[in-house]
Structure 1
Amino acid sequence: MAGEQRESKSRSQKKKDKRSLSDLKTLGRELLSSRRHINNLPLLLTYISPSSPPHYVLEALLSLQSFFSPVLHDLPPSSSSKPSLSSSGDPLVICRTWLRPKFDELVQSLISIAVSSECEETLRDVVLDTLMEFVKLGNRGKFYSALYHKLIQAIVYSSLEVDFLLESLASTYFKYMDVRYFTFITIEKLCKMSSNSSGDKAVIAEGDNSKESLHCSINKIYFILSHIPPLGNLAENAEIEMWSTGFLSKEDDHQEHSKNTEVGNKQEKGEKSNKNGFSLSTLSRKMKLKFTKAWMSFLRLPLSLEVYKEVLVNVHQMVIPYMSNPAIDFLTLSYDIGGVVSVMALSGLFVLMTKYGLEYPNFYEKLYALLNPAIFMAKHRAKFFQLLDSCLRSPLLPAYLAAAFTKKLSRLSLVVPPSGSLVIMALVHNLLRRHPSINCLVHRDRSEETNQPAKEHTSSNGDAGVVSEAGREKQGVDLFNDEESDPLRSNAMRSSLWEIDTLRHHYCPPVSRFVLSLENDLTVRAKTTEVTISDFSSGSYSTIFREEMRRRVKQVPLAFYKATPTSLFSESDFPGWTFDIDEGLGR
């Protein structure tokens, strides 16, 4: 029996190879002209495969699409449907039941072509348009979500890079509201499937070959999510495009008996309605809910490091403002990681705290821990410094906290590049101006500073301890603990900004000039203004050099000699050495 089937397939393959393109056109015309040639349908289906020549696939597809489009709304819901006993003898019902698996076979073949590496991009584009036409018509005039789910799933889980197909899908169909809606539903399902098969890791290290296919799928999911336009606020006269006519139709079907009453209630409440028959507020609410579920499911996946960083950079702009309940554990967990990841998560976390009332304990302690020399070389340092300045803007900030940040930044100014010293002085300038209680750091009276620790030391260790403590203070010992992670225990209020004073003699002229701005009385706010951090946050050696080249110098330092020098070095520079020009030898 198996041998007979193989022989039958080989015979049909030989017949298929012998047919010309004109024969294929004849089969299509006969199929469309009369139902007597219905047996041409299986023959045409054999040409819908990735191995067939593109022009053969295109010709067969045109005939099959023209045949199935008018009858799609009459086909049974699935290939498993059987005709009822009362209508089992109806030839029309039997024909439709027979056509249903043929249509499913056509869809499966088209999806295989769409994700195949053997097909040309032009053919993939035609196949995608055909599948989307079936999505529009395949569910009796309503959006065929099952077919759309199969298409997206095949694209996401294919082992090939299908950037062209995703770009074509995003540019052509993501403008339709129902396509966005069902895309969010599909992405949520795919994310849950991927999450169950990948474990509980938050980030998978790069280079793991066993996870390469999973990373490829996650990258495609992120591409789809990031290319769906956000909904935003719908205006009363907003034009909403739909790909099919059955969007949100399930609820309408369940509530058809009270449709007129609901429309009257909506008009009384003043709700905006669309020409498609549903409320704009209902649409906005449902879209935000699906958007939130899709993104929350995606953020639970084991993201690659590249995608992880890109999401952190953009989440506060393209995700949080459009969520129904923007409480993302993804950001808080990322902020706890430390290093560059925490810097990148700060933007989204700041938006949640300032606009959505998120309570995050120990926020300033962890922000304080991020201050290290590596921050001044990070890629996203400009945004970090601007957010740091915004976080320290509140007048309710405790004095010890403001002093700790000021002192920590001042200490870093000794080891960072000149561009980092400039942004540090800008931050210190703003902190001193906003918090007059820490201006004691600018000028510390040594006699007052030595009295307080002497009294505390006397009560415990006697007079001998007093002398040693005062002696250490007079020798210039800084009580600030740079290695302490807790700002409260850093002793910043008992220190001074001697680091800023050392920058007066910095080798970079812009740094030494900027120190002079701190000599103003910053406690009088009417006489001073805050420094714009964005003017310094993205600085580098090249920006400093360009600024210096544009400056007009009035006085240029010149070397002046009373007599023309006869040698490069004078004898006073090298005691015990003499330079004889005639002999050319030094001894």
Structure 2
Amino acid sequence: MASEGLSRKKQKRGKYSLSDLKTLGQQLLSSRAHVNNLPILLSFISTASPPHYALESLLSLQSFFTPLLPELPSSAFSKTSNDSNPDPESIYRTWLRSKFDDLVQSLIDLAISSQSEDTLREVVLETIMEFVKVGNGGKFHSAIYHKLLHSIVHSTLAIDDSLLDLLASKYFNYIDVRYFTYVSLEKLARTLEAKEDKRGNSDAYDESQPRTSMELSMHKLHNLLSHIPALEASNENSDYEMWNGLGIFIEKSNHKGHVDLEDKWTKSKKSNDKVLAERNIAKKMKLKFTKAWISFLQLPLPLDVYKEVLVTLHQDVIPHLSKPIMLCDFLTRSYNIGGVVSVMSLSSLYVLMTKHGLEYPNFYDKLYALLEPSIFMAKHRAKFFQLLDSCLKSPLLPAYLAAAFCKKLSRLALCVPPSGALVIVALVHNLLQRHPSISCLVHREGGRETTEEASGEEKRNVDDEENSGANRKLSNNKPGIDHFDNEESDPKETNAIRSSLWEFDTLRHHYCPPVSRFFLSFENDLAVRAKTAEIAVKDFSSGSYATIFNNEMRRRVKQVPLAFYKATPACLFSESDFPGWTFNLKDGEPINVNQ
């Protein structure tokens, strides 16, 4: 039966031409007697209709409904009305309201459909926003706008960014649109959180709602939040522009109870309370911005969205929150995860610690744990090294902590790429410049401690057992013993202050010439410490094999080593260098790789 009804609709659609639709629209606009043309025109607002048919029907319906919207009852009233003897006019308006709701839903389906053309989608979105502007008795119709955002977020179709770009370019510059966008996104985020909690607590998993649809909704939520411009990005010297004149930021009526929109808007521009009004607007916007983002960050975000959020959080979110300290739980959890997630959360966590008074007792322990060889090949290593240098800049750091970072970095210099060795030399150089108390790491020879250090160590361990003290003295007297424990995660227990930077001496003969040259300048700087400034880590933090190669290619070489041979060499290696091997092959003889 359903297929028969669908085929009948298709047959009816096939009977109408474009000129017929124009005639139906003109009749609908001319007289109430042709109101039955409305369902016919409404049936063409669909992806199954040709775009020019849908556009022609849309223009007629928009012209018909726009002047009637202030007179139509609300959707809730039309659904709950139980009047036993309603008058014909009330029935007619209730019916019109239901058709208007059908039109709005058809327009939203057409806007989010991947089959819609870009031109048609733009016109459809303009029509929806016009209904949002005047559909609530002249006020902003937040219900229609929320329905649009709800359909975008919960759509299972992978819509491209064209619809979001249209919203952002045409409507997100209006402050009331941004306000209601934050309100709707907060509701949608809380709805997704409730669904996720219900799914996680239920014993039976609903296969009809796969987890990928939830992740897709979170992607779209993040795209919407990211497309909304910040309030401070607007021109502060101009008035806040609103999509609906009778908005939430303007007084709605005068003392007589009459709405005098134009007069009120003119007076508000000339009043002396304009600065105070802008402050109130900024306060409201910041509050809604905070609620929307906090609700979104409470969701179990997919890993790719999680990383995108962490990358931009310190620039695009934290400066505009009403209370940035509310992000402390989210960022500390992210920082405790480890790996690249901890690296990406470090920027925001550093902002909270330095500008908003966040106390994190284990911050340096976690930062020390991030120093792994993999960090020198991570995507966001440049920002990490700059933050690492900033975090170690304070002269109040204890000597054991500075020594632990210095020793850990020097040990990593043995196994990282040349670009990593360059940034390590810069970091260790700055640490030694800022903390003279760890200069003993450079001047200590053979892994031995000085007599003063040994006596101080004995005083600090006076309560230890005699056998452990004897073993420690024995190990101290052995040349070549490194007391640094590279496997220890606690900087206090690494014994870095009793070690030396012997790893740095290997950089003197590094296979990469830029590293060895940079190490020689490092030695020269330590010799004249008072006249040496700190090295800008950002100049080396984003280095790679490509940057080193390009710098070497641009480098002017004064002397070029040349090789002279009395006779032309017949092979690359001489047989004396590899006893038992031969490199001379007869013509046509295959190479035996097993020899």
TM-score band by shorter chain is 0.7 to 0.9
Task: Check if 1:147 corresponds to 2:156.
Answer: no
1:81-230 aligned within 5 A: 81=78, 89=87, 92-163=89-160, 164-199=162-197, 210-230=210-230
Check 1:200–1:519 CA distance in 2 against 1; reply closer, same or farther (3 A cut): farther
Paired with 1:88 and 1:548, the residues of 2 have a C-alpha distance of 89
Paired with 2:428 and 2:294, the residues of 1 have a C-alpha distance of 39
What's 1:300 paired with? 298
For residues 280-319 of structure 1, the C-alpha deviation after alignment (integer angstroms, 9 at most, x for no partner) is 1111001011111111111111211111111111111111
Q: Which amino acid aligns with 1:193?
A: T
Task: Check if 1:519 corresponds to 2:519.
Answer: no
**Offset at residue 110 of structure 1 (A):** 1.5
> Which stretch of structure 1 is more off in the superposition, 216-225 or 80-89?
80-89
What's 1:374 paired with? 374
For residues 300-342 of structure 1, the C-alpha deviation after alignment (integer angstroms, 9 at most, x for no partner) is 1121111111111111111111111112122111001001100
Task: Check if 1:500 corresponds to 2:504.
Answer: yes
Task: Check if 1:532 corresponds to 2:536.
Answer: yes
Q: Which amino acid aligns with 1:314?
A: T
Identity over aligned residues, as a percent?
A: 61
What's 2:493 paired with? 489
1:48 equivalent among 36, 45, 48: 45
Q: Which amino acid aligns with 2:444?
A: R
> Does the CA contact (< 8 Å) of 1:315 and 1:348 recur in 2?
yes
1:564-579 aligned within 5 A: none
What's 2:590 paired with? none
Task: Check if 1:383 corresponds to 2:380.
Answer: no
**Offset at residue 393 of structure 1 (A):** 0.6
TM-score (norm 2): 0.84
For residues 526-549 of structure 1, the C-alpha deviation after alignment (integer angstroms, 9 at most, x for no partner) is 400110101111111121122122
> Does the CA contact (< 8 Å) of 2:46 and 2:106 recur in 1?
yes
- Number of equivalences: 562
Q: What is the SS of the residue equivalent to 2:443?
A: coil
Q: Which amino acid aligns with 2:344?
A: M
What's 1:585 paired with? none
What's 2:240 paired with? 240
> Does the CA contact (< 8 Å) of 1:427 and 1:533 recur in 2?
yes
Check 1:556–1:100 CA distance in 2 against 1; reply closer, same or farther (3 A cut): same
TM-score (norm 1): 0.86
What's 1:35 paired with? 32
Q: What is the SS of the residue equivalent to 2:450?
A: helix
For residues 27-55 of structure 1, the C-alpha deviation after alignment (integer angstroms, 9 at most, x for no partner) is 11111112222222222222223322322
Q: Which amino acid aligns with 1:179?
A: V
**Offset at residue 239 of structure 1 (A):** 3.2
What's 1:442 paired with? 442
> Which stretch of structure 1 is more off in the superposition, 531-540 or 101-110?
101-110
User: Unaligned stretches of 5+ in structure 1?
Assistant: 203-207, 580-587
Task: Check if 1:416 corresponds to 2:416.
Answer: yes
Check 1:88–1:253 CA distance in 2 against 1; reply closer, same or farther (3 A cut): farther
> Does the CA contact (< 8 Å) of 2:353 and 2:359 recur in 1?
yes
User: Unaligned stretches of 5+ in structure 2?
Assistant: 201-207, 584-595
Q: Which amino acid aligns with 2:361?
A: P
> Which stretch of structure 1 is more off in the superposition, 174-183 or 97-106?
97-106
> Which stretch of structure 1 is more off in the superposition, 99-108 or 491-500?
99-108
**Offset at residue 176 of structure 1 (A):** 1.0
**Offset at residue 118 of structure 1 (A):** 3.8
For residues 417-468 of structure 1, the C-alpha deviation after alignment (integer angstroms, 9 at most, x for no partner) is 1111110010000000011111111101636168448847898666997588
What's 1:23 paired with? 20
What's 1:475 paired with? 479
**Offset at residue 159 of structure 1 (A):** 1.1
